[in-house]
Amino acid sequence: MKPKLIIIDDDVSITDSYKIFLSKNFDVSLSTSIVEGKEKFSNNHYDIAIIDLSFPNKPEGGLELCSFIAENCPNTISIIMTAYDSIRLEENSKKLKIFDIITKGTTKTRDQLIASINDALVSLESILIKRITKDIFFDSNTHKPLPFVIKQFYVKHYNGIVDTSFSNIPVDTQWIFLTGKNAFGKTALLQSMALGLHGKLDNRTILAENQKTNIYVELKENFTNKIIHLDSEHLKEFVAYGPSRIEIQSPRTQNQVDHKSSKLYSLFNHDGICLNIAYDMLLWKLEKKPIYDIVIDMLLKLIPQIGKIEFIDDELVFYEKDANDPDLLFDPLPFSQLSVGQRSIIAMIGDIISRFKRYHPEIDNPEHFSGIVIIDELEAHLHPTLQVKLPTLLSDLFPKIQFIASTHSALPFLGAPEKSIFFKVNRDHEHGIWAEPIELIVKELTPNLLLTSPLFDMAHVLHIDQKNILKVRTEDNYKDMEKNDNAQKILKEFEDSDKDYPDDLFNNNVHDE
């Protein structure tokens, strides 16, 4: 397929002559006015635009077109043609993403234009996502996209990733799950996605030092489709977490906060520090803001074992429930004395709330926060019951946030919301790290089926030393197994006794009166 090129110039003789010598290698369109040029861009994608600077009654009208293209068609390369110098042209060339400026009316004009077009073609090769795609939906009836959502993602040359991409992601997808064996590249993929959303610089630290690394993301940002890349402006409403997320700010760590609590630090390091939600909650409590009670309720929903949360002498404390009597509460515990799983949940959710509240201080209910959250090893430190519940809980508490998470466990899939998609991360010598979409209706599968599905590729889920398949228990749950064992015990006792079975025990014609 030929690259698409458009020539916008009010001089028909120029546009026609350019079309003749460019049509051999390009699919060429013509336009003679600013208005017509904008209309063509509204309905078509062009790889390269050759634009005259001067139009009737608009000496620098070409800049208006360049501005329109930069805003609406960021992956179109603009080349300006002009017969005179312009100070504004030089001043705005970088802002308007003008690739080159060619002087008209010289014997070298055509040669310069061809050279510039060839350079532009080389530059186009680095653009991994060239055009905005049409929105697709899980629910084609409601057509309700999330405010922020990844539509497609493309990465080359990053930490073992040679060339891989995700595409055709519905814009109402709330969860993107990654599975894969250890050391197959799940973390590398999450890191590259984070870099694509945030940029390669995090708190003055360069996170992508390979000059060949190239990352593009098509996303919906505040309901507007756009394409961003590694070197473009970053997404504000975004944060990422690595597997270690139990350390929070304290007076002892305060001097490390700026360095170790940046947006991406946790995903790239093992000693990240989460923002301490208690600092914000104390302020909200003193100011009697409704968000204080809302956050208390959110934390209680996330951790069912906690029955009460309050401040004692400016310290946030937690009361655990008695397992036998939920109305009874144990003595209050500070955050540091909670279990690792509880601390992990509180630290991460508190960090999400604190950060997104900073992004949007006007929002008082975290339910209205919107953005994207990346979580590596979602199941880390969590009991199986919470692994199952966590995806649904997070979706209910943050219905406008898209979550992208890796996991080694099948249990989170038992709680995966309906609008979820799944990728298995693979790695081989020829292709490096790559992701394969897996289409499964997970709500119809048991853990055994999930573990032996393409998501996890286990051959079976039997004990490693079990040689007799007839002894494997196949009941759906442990209580059913106990009932069957009890029934077998009763039958065995009856068999060993001197009692006889009733004559009508197996008579199908006998009915209860």
Q: Is 90 exposed, middle or buried (0-12, 13-18, 19+ CB in 10 A)?
A: exposed
Domains 4-125 and 131-271+370-460 agree in fold: yes
In sequence order, the 6+-apart residues with CB closer than 8 A to the CB of 99 are 77, 78, 79, 116, 119, 120, 123
pLDDT in tens, 6-56: 999 999 988 898 899 899 899 999 999 999 999 999 888 899 999 999 999
Burial bucket for residue 64 (CB in 10 Å: 0-12, 13-18, 19+): middle
What are 20's two structure tokens? 């003749």
Domain boundaries, the chain: 4-125, 131-271+370-460, 275-365
3-state secondary structure of 440: coil
Spatial contact of 113 and 82, defined as CB atoms under 8 Å apart: no
Compute how many other C-beta atoms are within 10 angstroms of the C-beta atom of residue 448. 14
Compute the distance between CA of residue 172 and CA of residue 143 in angstroms, rounded to an integer: 8
Of 265, 456, 281, 440, which Cα lies nearest the Cα of 379? 456
DSSP helix/strand/coil, 116? helix
- What is the architecture of the domain spanning 131-271+370-460? 3-Layer(aba) Sandwich (3.40)
Closest CA to 150 of 356, 360, 371: 371
Output the six-digit token pair for 237: 């409403």
Task: Choose between 267 and 252: higher pLDDT.
Answer: 267
| Nearest by Cα to 207 from 176, 240, 254, 180 | 240
Cβ(190)–Cβ(184) below 8 Å: no
Contact in structure between 66 and 86 (CB atoms under 8 Å)? no
pLDDT at 496: 84
pLDDT of residue 513: 46
Rounded percentage of the chain residues whose pLDDT exceeds 70: 95
Which of the two residues, 409 and 85, has the higher pLDDT score?
409
Model confidence over 330-357: pLDDT tens digits? 999 999 999 999 999 999 999 999 999 9
Domain 4-125: state its class.
alpha beta
* pLDDT surpassing 60 at residue 394: yes
Mean pLDDT of 415-442: 93
Average pLDDT, the chain: 89
Q: Give the type of residue at 513.
A: E
Cα separation, 454 vs 473, whole angstroms: 24
The residues, any chain, with a CB within 8 Å of residue 427's CB and separated by 6 or more, are: 160, 180, 183, 184, 185, 433, 434
Would you state the pLDDT for residue 209? 84
